[in-house]
A and B are shown apart, each in its own frame.
Chain A
Amino acid sequence: MHPEIVRLLQEAEDRYLQTSEVEIFQRYAASLNRRLEIYEKLREKEEKIFQPVADAIEAAFPNEKPEVVSRSLKHWILILRYCATAMLANDPEFLKLRLQEWVKGLVAAQANEEIELKIYELLETELKSHLSEKQLPLLLPFLAKSKELIFTDE
């Protein structure tokens, strides 16, 4: 949880935090509020964010079985939940572990990569319409990281 804060406190184990370190702490505390807002928004709007994605993906792949499309949508619902948690805790390692050790395998075994990529693109667009300009930079890096983790072979 909050690896940056944990590291700061560990480094200051035998002393007080220096002024510059307290500033980092303050910046982090301020961003935590924003992170929580985004987190709550994603939670509240999960259905609203994904329904247009689902509609668009069905239109783009009309011949694909609904089970396959549903499964891919579920992958990305799960990925976005992991992104939300990783963003809240500012912990990319959490995202990496969950994606590499779980979701990546599911995607590779069950899904059509073209569909998954398209969902990613649609999701990114959808998020841009739900989150403000200030909120996006906190979340999007985690989503981009997900794309990299899911679609790039080690």
Chain B
Amino acid sequence: MISIANLLSEERLPGNYFAHDVYVKGELELGLLENRRGDRLLAIPDTFIAAIYSGLDRETGSATPLVLFNCGKWWGKNFYVRFCEEVKDYYGYGVAQMEMVEFIQCLEQLWKTHGWGLFTFDPSHYHHGFLVVKISNSPFVRQAPNWKRPAGFLEAGILTSFFTQLTGRELTCIQTACESLGAETNYFVLGVRDRLQNVESWVKEGQNHEAIMTQLCA
């Protein structure tokens, strides 16, 4: 017999920690933005993102994508640590103990609340050893120069280190569809490096995301 008293023994039923209406707080007098546990947040205008691209292009030229990817990796490392801390503080259990759906919803909500676009996690290729992430309306991609190739290098870097730490396996991430090339959304594929080695050339040939996934999972 199910006892409601037992179900409610903890009284707290945690919900959507990263919900935007409670997560972001502003202090007008000090001009500060904070999250709900008092960590500083930084708001950056589109112009600033555009300036990062043009500044990098001037300083590093054709190495810009690689620099962005590595910046993303570095940032993603700290981002993962903060994500785990916040989740544990609020839910009372760690990321590893979370139900899959809770974890995914947290990540999707966090992405949206931070204004990084709409993040959707697609686990349907998981049994083939690949994770697919879809990010729509990315502010980073929107400002990217016209490279004639997928431009979400910052995000690919972030996803690489986030999921590498999460899974404990050395993963890499390659973008297979990009809003800057007219695609409806941005697709990113994560997997071990050896198994993704052909993806970049398929992307260069102009194959779309679905075709690439079909070949990968064949």
**Beta-carbon contact of A97 and B8 below 8 Å:** no
Supposing A47-B8, A73-B7 touch, asked if A102 and B101 sit within 8 A by C-beta, the answer is no
A55–B7 alpha-carbon span in the complex (Å): 13
| Pick from A47, A55, A82, A106: contact of B101, CB under 8 Å | A106
| Pick from B3, B19, B99, B104: contact of A101, CB under 8 Å | B19
Report B-chain residues with C-beta under 8 Å of the C-beta of A101: 16, 19, 105, 109
**Beta-carbon contact of B4 and A51 below 8 Å:** yes
Report B-chain residues with C-beta under 8 Å of the C-beta of A102: 15-16, 19, 105, 109
- B184 at the A/B interface (Cβ < 8 Å)? no
Type the 1/0 row for B1-39, where 1 means its CB is closer than 8 Å to any CB of A.
111110110000101100101000000000000000000
CB < 8 Å A-B pair total? 61
- A54 at the A/B interface (Cβ < 8 Å)? yes
Report B-chain residues with C-beta under 8 Å of the C-beta of A110: 99, 101
- A66 at the A/B interface (Cβ < 8 Å)? yes
- How many chain-B residues does the 8 Å CB contact rule pick out? 19
**Beta-carbon contact of A78 and B15 below 8 Å:** yes
- A145 at the A/B interface (Cβ < 8 Å)? no
Supposing A50-B4, A70-B2, A77-B7 touch, asked if A97 and B101 sit within 8 A by C-beta, the answer is no
Interface residues of A, dominant DSSP: helix
A54–B2 alpha-carbon span in the complex (Å): 6
Report A-chain residues with C-beta under 8 Å of the C-beta of B19: 97-98, 101-102
Report B-chain residues with C-beta under 8 Å of the C-beta of A81: 13
- A69 at the A/B interface (Cβ < 8 Å)? yes
Type the 1/0 row for A55-91, where 1 means its CB is closer than 8 Å to any CB of B.
1001000000010011001100110011000000000
A54–B8 alpha-carbon span in the complex (Å): 13
A98–B16 alpha-carbon span in the complex (Å): 7
Type the 1/0 row for A92-127, where 1 means its CB is closer than 8 Å to any CB of B.
001001100111011001100000000000000000
- B102 at the A/B interface (Cβ < 8 Å)? yes
Which chain A residue shows the least CB distance to B100?
Answer: A109
B33 to chain A, nearest CB (A): 20
A39–B13 alpha-carbon span in the complex (Å): 17
**Beta-carbon contact of B16 and A55 below 8 Å:** no
**Beta-carbon contact of A105 and B7 below 8 Å:** no
Q: Which 4 A-B pairs have the closest CB atoms?
A: A102-B16, A109-B101, A50-B4, A54-B2
Q: List 15 A-B contacts (CB under 8 A).
A: A46-B4, A50-B4, A51-B5, A54-B4, A73-B2, A74-B7, A74-B13, A77-B7, A81-B13, A98-B19, A101-B109, A102-B16, A102-B19, A102-B109, A105-B101
In the complex, besides A55-B2, A69-B2, A105-B101, 15 extra interface pairs with C-beta distance below 8 angstroms are A54-B3, A58-B2, A73-B2, A74-B7, A77-B7, A81-B13, A94-B21, A97-B19, A98-B15, A98-B19, A101-B19, A101-B105, A102-B16, A103-B15, A105-B105
